[in-house]
Chains A and B, each alone.
Chain A
Amino acid sequence: MISRLFSFRGGIKPDSHKTESSEASIRNVPLPSRLVVLLTQGSQGAARTIVTVGDKVLKGQCIGEAEGVAGTAIHAPTSGTVTEIGPYPMAHPSGLASPAIVIEPDGEERWITHEPLDPATASREDLILRIQASGIVGMGGATFPSHLKADSEIETLIINGAECEPWITCDDRLMRERAAHIVTGSAILAHLTGARQVLVGIEDNKPEAIAAMRTAIQDMEAVARKCLDADKMNVIAVPTLYPTGGEKQLVRVLTGIDVPPDKRITDSGIQCFNVATAHTVCRALLHGESMVSRIVTVTGSVERPGNYETPLGMPVADLLAFCGVKPGTSRVLMGGPMMGFSLPSLDAPIAKGCNCLIAASNELFSPPPPEQPCIRCGNCANSCPVGLQPFELYWASRAKNLDRAEHYHLFTCMECGCCAYVCPAHIPLVDYFRFAKSEIRARNEERKTAEQARTRFEFRSLRLEREKTEKAARLAAKAAETRAKAASEADSALIAAAVEQAKMQSSVQDKAAPSRDQQT
């Protein structure tokens, strides 16, 4: 057991607003009239549809196979009929559309036959393949495919139950109600990654969750004990400070290791999974249930805030309607108020990474006061958990001086929003950083294509040049050949003429010979 906790630099303590949604137990939602399952659910790859319009599907049946090694499979969230395959808006700040499979539920919720795997006897490859085939991605929001993360060799496994963003309580409720599954899932993940110890980090503002997890570890299921000894798994209460739930911040708090920005935590022998991901891994392996639903916190200005077991693909508008949006709601945030974004379209469906919906009204979230000039107070630099100089980044981004922004390590910024939260001039710093990041990405892409066009153009010029010289050489050779032929023809003509002449001469001589003889 770790005797001492460490701290990371910076961080803030915003109002937590957790109790609004954390007191009611997880509820089910009625099936909407259609479920829209987007093909792109993971951050590293999409799925390829394997159904056609009109197909009848069962709950948990694979409707999209993972594309490539990093792809994420998708499954029917309920039984019903595929009615459409077409573009639907994504839950993304751009509001762009992405291909999706639309399923009309038949209301029977008929599952496919479950095929559980025993983690103690199944091979590691089979287990990892099953994680991919079940379409599991990181459920904290980053949606990184879990099978890629599980396929690593590490010392320490960290299970992230910090849930540091204000308003969000889905992990809290999950730990209180389904701790046993989380513990089993964590043990399986430890078995897969060869971890010798498992640290479950939970912020100390969730005492019920901490107690529930501790009890679950004591009463660990037999199947989990085969994967990991119960005394190798520890729940650690970490101080409540935003952003403790950041991967590298939690690693720092629990182990004292500072992972450099250009390294991954696996380089230090650590891997980290969200509690909800561990829960889903357990359901997928031990119960054969693919990822077809997730728990979403709905809070803010709604009649019935709380946590809802939501089928994937449920349109945001339907979920909000079920929870009763209060009048005065001006926009809907997806994710928390710090790192989330305002949804451009409520038609967007719930995807695997959507942990929270906040109906925002002007009373709850007053519109930001007007931006004022930076006074270089340095508050932002003091609050930045990764040690950046946000005001320098701000000056560079505002001036569109992208090289300078990169020089100040713009890409180390994790857009946690601490700097903007403390800024007395109310500068929306994160907006500037997001802008500058996308500009730099676009610029690098442009540079790459320009370089490619340049080399291809040069190669083509060379090729044309070569073809020209080759052609000239060919023509010259041909000309020489013709000339030689002509010459040889002329020669043979000459020879023939000479022979002719010689013959003639000889015959003349023959005729003349006797006379010559006569002469001699």
Chain B
Amino acid sequence: MLAALLVMTGIALVLGTALGYAAVYFKVEGNPLAEQIEATLPQTQCAQCGYPGCRPYAEAIASGEAEINLCTPGGDDNAQKLAEMLGREFKPRGTPVEKLKTVAIIDEQTCIGCTLCIQACPVDAIIGSAKQMHTVVSCYCTGCELCLPPCPVDCIALVEEPRTPQNWRWKYPVKGLKVVA
């Protein structure tokens, strides 16, 4: 009887210590679930989900405090993907209208160099300094529109990215079925 108790206690102690050490040594850095969620988000950083960017939104989903269908650029597709990944219920949000990628352009004649747009841009895509003309580095711009409202002289516009043979896409060859009668 005593031997059995001793053996059990011994085992419990050894395993407990091992697990304790494992928890310390093999601690996973960061939040893997949030990272997985973030990988599916479109990274527009537009804050339309109500969080200051895609990463904060991903963390909010991971901790369970946010709905999975708040991302506007991602639309229903993204919500569906998240629903599958997390085993949560999919709630449609109404697919956004298919939009071509846009980039911001600053009218350099009108810009007064107030630096307000620089502070608003989530990806540091605007360069310029106080009282100097500003401009958008279009390859970094995500088209999030966050720089539009702060501009006091309304000199920022969003334009569609020009089509070139490099980014032009072939049509999907499947023809839709004709409705008969």
Q: Are A450 and B43 neighbours in the complex by a CB distance under 8 Å?
A: yes
Residues of B within 8 A of A481 (CB): none
- Interface residues in B149-180 by Cβ distance below 8 A to A read 163-165, 167-174
**1/0 contact string of A433-445 vs chain B (CB within 8 Å):** 0110111001001
**Minimum C-beta distance from A339 to chain B (A):** 14
Residue on B nearest A398 in the bound complex, by CB: B174
What are 18 residue pairs bridging A and B, where the CB atoms are less than 8 Å apart in the complex? Answer: A90-B165, A92-B165, A94-B163, A94-B165, A437-B170, A438-B169, A438-B170, A442-B167, A442-B169, A453-B123, A453-B140, A453-B142, A454-B55, A456-B123, A457-B54, A457-B122, A460-B124, A461-B53
Residues of B within 8 A of A96 (CB): 163-165, 168
Residue on A nearest B42 in the bound complex, by CB: A450
Q: Is A470 an interface residue (CB 8 A)?
A: no
Residue on B nearest A95 in the bound complex, by CB: B168
Q: Is B38 an interface residue (CB 8 A)?
A: yes
Q: Is B45 an interface residue (CB 8 A)?
A: yes
Q: Are A445 and B167 neighbours in the complex by a CB distance under 8 Å?
A: yes
**1/0 contact string of B44-58 vs chain A (CB within 8 Å):** 110000000111000
- The residues of A with any CB-CB pair to B shorter than 8 Å are 90, 92-94, 96, 398, 400, 428, 431-432, 434-435, 437-439, 442, 445, 449-454, 456-461
Residue on B nearest A397 in the bound complex, by CB: B173
- The residues of B with any CB-CB pair to A shorter than 8 Å are 38, 42-45, 53-55, 122-125, 139-140, 142, 163-165, 167-174
Q: Are A435 and B168 neighbours in the complex by a CB distance under 8 Å?
A: no
Q: Are A453 and B43 neighbours in the complex by a CB distance under 8 Å?
A: yes
Residues of B within 8 A of A449 (CB): 43, 139, 142
Residues of A within 8 A of B53 (CB): 457, 461
**Minimum C-beta distance from A47 to chain B (A):** 16
Q: Are A457 and B123 neighbours in the complex by a CB distance under 8 Å?
A: yes
Residues of A within 8 A of B139 (CB): 449
16 new A-B contacts, CB < 8 A, other than A435-B173, A438-B169, are A92-B165, A93-B170, A94-B163, A96-B165, A398-B174, A400-B172, A439-B169, A451-B43, A452-B123, A453-B140, A454-B38, A456-B124, A457-B54, A460-B122, A460-B123, A460-B124
Task: Give Cα distance in the complex from A99 to B38, angstroms.
Answer: 40
Residues of B within 8 A of A445 (CB): 167
Q: Are B43 and A434 neighbours in the complex by a CB distance under 8 Å?
A: no
Pick from B55, B167, B173 the residue with the most CB of A within 10 Å. B173
**Minimum C-beta distance from A313 to chain B (A):** 18
**Minimum C-beta distance from A344 to chain B (A):** 11
**Minimum C-beta distance from B49 to chain A (A):** 13
Task: Give Cα distance in the complex from A323 to B53, angstroms.
Answer: 61
Pick from A431, A454, A457 the residue with the most CB of B within 10 Å. A457
Total inter-chain residue pairs, C-beta < 8 Å:
66
**Minimum C-beta distance from B15 to chain A (A):** 39
Q: Are A434 and B142 neighbours in the complex by a CB distance under 8 Å?
A: no
**Minimum C-beta distance from B93 to chain A (A):** 20
Residues of A within 8 A of B142 (CB): 449, 453
Residues of B within 8 A of A453 (CB): 43-45, 123, 140, 142
Residues of A within 8 A of B174 (CB): 398
Contact of B43 among A93, A431, A437, A457 (CB under 8 A): A457
Residues of A within 8 A of B55 (CB): 454, 457-458, 461
Q: What are the 10 closest A-B residue pairs judged by CB atoms, nearest first?
A: A450-B43, A431-B173, A456-B123, A438-B169, A94-B168, A453-B43, A435-B170, A434-B170, A457-B45, A438-B170
**Minimum C-beta distance from A427 to chain B (A):** 9
Task: Give Cα distance in the complex from A434 to B169, angstroms.
Answer: 9
Task: Give Cα distance in the complex from A216 to B174, angstroms.
Answer: 51
Residue on A nearest B165 in the bound complex, by CB: A92
Task: Give Cα distance in the complex from A94 to B16, angstroms.
Answer: 67
Residue on B nearest A97 in the bound complex, by CB: B163
Task: Give Cα distance in the complex from A445 to B166, angstroms.
Answer: 11
Residue on A nearest B172 in the bound complex, by CB: A435
Residues of B within 8 A of A432 (CB): 173
Task: Give Cα distance in the complex from A90 to B168, angstroms.
Answer: 13
Task: Give Cα distance in the complex from A428 to B53, angstroms.
Answer: 43
Residue on A nearest B43 in the bound complex, by CB: A450
**Minimum C-beta distance from A494 to chain B (A):** 46
Residues of B within 8 A of A461 (CB): 53, 55
Q: Are B124 and A428 neighbours in the complex by a CB distance under 8 Å?
A: no
Q: Are B140 and A456 neighbours in the complex by a CB distance under 8 Å?
A: yes
Task: Give Cα distance in the complex from A276 to B142, angstroms.
Answer: 45
Q: Are A431 and B170 neighbours in the complex by a CB distance under 8 Å?
A: yes
**Minimum C-beta distance from B42 to chain A (A):** 6
Task: Give Cα distance in the complex from A94 to B44, angstroms.
Answer: 28
**Minimum C-beta distance from A170 to chain B (A):** 24
**Minimum C-beta distance from A367 to chain B (A):** 13
Task: Give Cα distance in the complex from A452 to B54, angstroms.
Answer: 13
Residues of B within 8 A of A438 (CB): 168-170
Residue on B nearest A400 in the bound complex, by CB: B172
Task: Give Cα distance in the complex from A434 to B172, angstroms.
Answer: 9
Residues of A within 8 A of B54 (CB): 454, 457
Task: Give Cα distance in the complex from A439 to B163, angstroms.
Answer: 14
Residues of A within 8 A of B140 (CB): 452-453, 456
Residues of B within 8 A of A456 (CB): 123-125, 140
**Minimum C-beta distance from B29 to chain A (A):** 15
Residue on A nearest B163 in the bound complex, by CB: A96
Task: Give Cα distance in the complex from A400 to B174, angstroms.
Answer: 11
Task: Give Cα distance in the complex from A452 to B122, angstroms.
Answer: 12
Q: Are A428 and B173 neighbours in the complex by a CB distance under 8 Å?
A: yes
Task: Give Cα distance in the complex from A398 to B172, angstroms.
Answer: 8
**Minimum C-beta distance from A371 to chain B (A):** 8
Residue on A nearest B169 in the bound complex, by CB: A438
Task: Give Cα distance in the complex from A442 to B100, angstroms.
Answer: 12
Residues of A within 8 A of B165 (CB): 90, 92, 94, 96
Task: Give Cα distance in the complex from A454 to B55, angstroms.
Answer: 8
Task: Give Cα distance in the complex from A90 to B164, angstroms.
Answer: 11
Pick from B124, B163, B168 the residue with the most CB of A within 10 Å. B168
Residues of B within 8 A of A400 (CB): 172
Pick from B124, B139, B169 the residue with the most CB of A within 10 Å. B169
Q: Are A459 and B163 neighbours in the complex by a CB distance under 8 Å?
A: no
Residues of A within 8 A of B164 (CB): 96
Q: Are B122 and A435 neighbours in the complex by a CB distance under 8 Å?
A: no
Task: Give Cα distance in the complex from A434 to B139, angstroms.
Answer: 26
